[in-house]
Amino acid sequence: MAAYWRSLDRGDGAELQRAAYKKRGSLRDVADYLLEATAPA
């Protein structure tokens, strides 16, 4: 349930992608962000 509340606080994936694009200004950087966010550590 904690993950659910964290998701609501951060926003959904589309919101995070739009924020990354707005911050970085490049679709390539958004793809890099997605890889960083989803790749296993």
Model confidence pLDDT, tens digit, residues 3-40: 667 766 777 788 888 888 998 889 998 898 888 888 88
| Counted domains in the chain | 1
Q: Which pLDDT score is estimated for 7?
A: 65
Task: Look at the pTM and tell me if it is higher than 0.75.
Answer: no
37: Cβ contacts below 8 Å, ≥ 6 apart: 16
Range of the domain at 13: 2-38
Q: How far apart are alpha carbons 24 and 37 in whole angstroms?
A: 15
d(CA 5, CA 11): 10
